[in-house]
A and B are shown apart, each in its own frame.
Chain A
């Protein structure tokens, strides 16, 4: 059963702590993406990766970091430098990089910073 998994579904952290969100895909997709969704807002791109060991900043990368050591995994770290980290985080993948390709989304992680 192919797809994208994100864990955990809900995450609570204290202010000032770094937290890492997991994203795993078994679709054999080259490209992976991280988006942030706030109420009433669209999806904003944080980071994306077109190939293993390579990633690029999106529109709102400040306060976040990523790694892409394996094709199937693209974890996102929300650092203490992110001023407003409480949000719904969505991971996505596409078969090949580029905007012409359908993106498949994971179920998301809802992060709350107390």
Chain B
């Protein structure tokens, strides 16, 4: 079945360092969504990408969708302790349900 692979599984950074998580699919995706789950919390929607090569920014967060619509990335510039949590990508093929990656757990050392 369709899978969405996400790497790395864990990332430990010093506060102020940058962070990137990558999401890859073997098949072309119609769209990709990103969610953040704080420790002990539930996933919260961050953004959706639909177009090939699309780039969106939210303050220190930059989201990209690959030209072939098979990969995506989330980059955080100058991490803060408030960025701690697990970041999930979720993609789908046309008319399909969202398939979630296993997530990247980010820890930030002050």
**CB within 8 Å of A: which B63-110 residues:** 88, 90, 92, 95-98, 100-103
A108 to B98, CA, bound (A): 19
CB distance from A29 to the nearest CB of B (A): 13
Q: How large is the interface on A (under 10, 10 to 19, 20 to 34, 35 or more residues)?
A: 20 to 34
In contact, B102 and A99 (Cβ under 8 angstroms): no
Q: CB distance A41 to B97 under 8 Å?
A: no
User: Which residues from chain B contact A35 at a C-beta distance below 8 Å?
Assistant: 100
**Majority DSSP secondary structure for residues of A touching B:** loop
B4, B42, B98: the one contacting A106 at CB < 8 Å is B42
- Does A102 interact with chain B (Cβ within 8 Å)? yes
Task: Please measure, in the bound complex, the distance between the C-alpha atom of A90 and the C-alpha atom of B90, giving whole angstroms.
Answer: 15
A98 at the A/B interface (Cβ < 8 Å)?
Answer: yes
Q: Is the CB–CB distance between A99 and B45 below 8 Å?
A: no
Once A98-B95, A99-B30, A102-B48 are accepted as A-B contacts, the answer to whether A43 and B88 lie under 8 Å apart by CB is yes
**Cβ-Cβ contact count across A and B, 8 Å cutoff:** 51
A105 x B44 contact (CB < 8 A): yes
A92-114: which residues lie under 8 A (CB-CB) from chain B?
98-100, 102-108
In the complex, A40→B88 CA distance in Å? 11
- How far does the Cβ of B43 sit from chain A's closest Cβ, in whole Å? 5
Give residues of chain B (26-54) contacting chain A, Cβ–Cβ below 8 Å: 30-31, 33, 41-45, 48, 50
**A61 on the interface (CB 8 Å rule)?**
no
Interface-centre pick from A43, A59, A105 (highest chain B CB count, 10 A)? A43
Residue of B nearest to A104 (CB): B45
Interface members, chain A 59-114 (any B CB < 8 Å): 59, 90, 98-100, 102-108
Determine whether the beta carbon of B31 is less than 8 Å from that of A99.
Answer: yes
| A99 in contact with B98 (CB, 8 Å) | yes
* CB within 8 Å for A90 and B43 given contacts A40-B102, A42-B103: yes
